[in-house]
């Protein structure tokens, strides 16, 4: 496998990434969606779109983000529920001042919330 490719379980195929992808957010950062009322903590980052074609096509064409940007996996929450979200970089804003995220999976990966971000649990660090 070429270093510029990675396997995406969501897409079920190899995805080619650009040589340099500038991720604005890091694992553990708390973010909010630019248009929709939810926020979350980043737990994984794809350098480019790496989900299924069905998922991508389900987004209305006038709102569909470019594939050629980082996409973030979030433990997300809104006023009604907690869930996992997959969001393009262009649709995320920093939300570190909003406080911790109340998602049931946060404690599985993270420990300690400080200044708008979570620390990866010690036993999960390299």
Sketch out the chain's domains with CATH numbers: 5-124 (2.30.30.390)
Residue 71 backbone dihedrals phi, psi, to 5 degrees: -120, 140
What pLDDT does 126 receive?
67
**Residue pLDDT, tens place only, 20-76:** 668 999 999 999 999 999 999 999 999 989 999 999 999 999 999 998 899 999 999
What pLDDT does 94 receive?
95
Query: Can you name the residues that pair with 42 across neighbouring β-strands?
Result: 74
- Burial zone of 75 (CB within 10 Å; 0-12 exposed, 13-18 middle, 19+ buried): buried
pTM over 0.85: no
């Amino acid at each position: 496998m070429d270093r510029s490719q990675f396997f995406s379980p969501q897409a079920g195929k190899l995805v080619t990434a650009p040589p340099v992808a500038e991720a604005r957010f890091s694992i553990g950062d708390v973010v909010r969606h630019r248009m929709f009322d939810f926020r979350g903590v980043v737990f994984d980052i794809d350098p480019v779109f790496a989900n299924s074609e069905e998922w991508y096509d389900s987004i209305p064409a006038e709102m569909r983000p470019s594939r050629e940007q980082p996409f973030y996996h979030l433990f997300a929450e809104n006023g009604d529920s907690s869930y996992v979200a997959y969001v393009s970089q262009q649709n995320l804003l920093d939300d570190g001042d909003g406080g911790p995220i109340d998602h049931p999976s946060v404690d599985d990966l993270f420990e300690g919330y400080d200044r708008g971000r979570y620390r990866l649990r010690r036993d999960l660090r390299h």
